């Protein structure tokens, strides 16, 4: 599938990249993980001014995918999938401020319910918010909630698309950082990027991401099932994280190293908004293979 952005979409992508590249998103993510939300909320407002929160109601799923790929590439914290993808469709209106949602059974916890101005279950206001649960991604602050709202299929599918695009962006960032690192790190007097084994692993990641991208944007165009996009983007991003850890060596496992922000986010997003098993089963059912 050949897909190219039009001039308006390229301008939107460039504006997002300019904004996020100029912001210290890693510091915002680390602060968010520690319960310090000021930097993340300022970034939220700036992205809202750029129109990210209105994409689900005023633009197409392609613009949603563009935005969420950028959010994933820069590890922007906050309940963006909930506020900018699921809830606008489920409620039929743009969300003002920060909102979050739990959607049983695939989204059992409400992300960042301690920060959100409004919390929903499905499309209904939450009855109560409980204790915080632990996530491998410390920027994902998950809260048990109670309520009786029903899931919305169209809203769920857009949230899956947004999560797929985030995974694609995060995988691209890990690959880019890994390529840069192997050019600098030396072993036995040579940059490790000169070794064939390293080149082959990075090439495998490049191929996986390149195969995932048309599925994500194909899903945005309605030509590919969104579950296929989620599976492909999740597998590609997870491969990027594994190879990224390997080529970075011991430093890649340290929480202080920025790579950890993307590694843990990828691990969490792989199972967010439906596990790989769920999406594979969904595809198999549609193909009559179950």
Task: Give the range of the structural domain holding residue 230, as residue numbers without chain letter.
Answer: 153-286
In a domain, 141, yes or no: no
Degrees to nearest 5, angle at CA 120 with 35 and 95: 80
Into how many domains does the chain fold?
A: 1
The pLDDT of residue 194 is: 83
Mean pLDDT of the chain: 95
Q: Establish whether the linkage from the previous residue to 270 is cis, with ω within 30° of 0.
A: no
Q: Would you list the DSSP string of 236-247?
A: HHHHHHHHHHHH
Assigned domain for 221 exists: yes
Asked if 82 contacts 143 with a C-beta cutoff of 8 angstroms, the reply is no
Residue 276 in any domain: the answer is yes
User: Would residue 48 count as lying in a domain?
Assistant: no
Is the per-residue pLDDT at 258 higher than 60? Answer: yes
**153-210: pLDDT as tens digits:** 999 999 999 999 999 999 999 999 999 999 988 888 888 888 899 999 999 999 999 9
Question: For position 2, what pLDDT does the model report?
Answer: 67
User: Measuring CA to CA, which residue among 104, 99, 141 is closest to residue 121?
Assistant: 104
The CATH number that applies at residue 195 is 1.20.140.10
Evaluate whether residue 77 is within a structural domain. no
| Structure confidence by residue, pLDDT tens digits, 33-69 | 999 999 999 999 999 999 999 999 999 999 999 999 9
Q: Does residue 219 lie within any of the structural domains?
A: yes
Q: What is the mean pLDDT of residues 107-111?
A: 97
pLDDT of 267 strictly over 80: yes
Task: Indicate whether 92 pLDDT > 90.
Answer: yes
What does the pLDDT read at residue 250?
A: 84
193 part of a folded domain = yes
- Does a structural domain hold residue 75? no
Mention every residue, 6+ apart, whose C-beta is less than 8 A from residue 215: 164, 224, 228, 229, 232, 233
pLDDT at 192: 85
Q: What is the pLDDT of residue 1?
A: 56
Per-residue pLDDT, 188: 82
């Amino acid at each position: 599938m050949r897909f190219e952005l039009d001039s308006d979409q390229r301008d939107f992508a460039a504006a997002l990249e300019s904004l996020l590249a100029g912001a210290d998103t890693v510091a915002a993510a680390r602060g968010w993980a520690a319960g310090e939300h000021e930097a993340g909320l300022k970034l939220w407002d700036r992205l809202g001014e750029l129109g990210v929160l209105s994409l689900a109601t005023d633009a197409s799923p392609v613009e949603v995918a563009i935005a969420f790929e950028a959010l994933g590439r820069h590890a922007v914290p906050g309940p963006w999938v909930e506020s900018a993808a699921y809830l606008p469709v489920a409620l039929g209106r743009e969300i003002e401020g920060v909102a979050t949602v739990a959607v049983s059974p695939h989204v059992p916890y409400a992300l960042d319910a301690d920060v959100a101005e409004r919390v929903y279950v499905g499309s209904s206001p939450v009855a109560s918010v409980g204790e915080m649960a632990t996530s491998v991604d410390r920027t994902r602050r998950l809260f048990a909630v109670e309520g009786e709202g029903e899931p919305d299929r169209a809203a769920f599918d857009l949230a899956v698309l947004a999560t797929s695009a985030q995974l694609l962006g995060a995988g691209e960032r890990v690959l880019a950082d890994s390529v840069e690192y192997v050019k600098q790190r030396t072993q036995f007097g040579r940059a490790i990027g000169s070794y064939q084994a390293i080149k082959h692993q990075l090439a495998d990641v490049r191929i996986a991401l390149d195969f995932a991208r048309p599925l994500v944007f194909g899903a945005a165009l309605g030509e590919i099932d969104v579950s296929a996009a989620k599976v492909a983007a999740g597998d590609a991003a997870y491969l990027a994280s594994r190879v990224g850890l390997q080529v970075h060596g011991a430093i890649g496992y340290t929480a202080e190293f920025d790579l950890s922000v993307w590694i843990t986010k990828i691990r969490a997003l792989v199972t967010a908004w439906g596990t790989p098993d769920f999406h594979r089963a969904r595809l198999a059912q549609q193909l009559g293979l179950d």
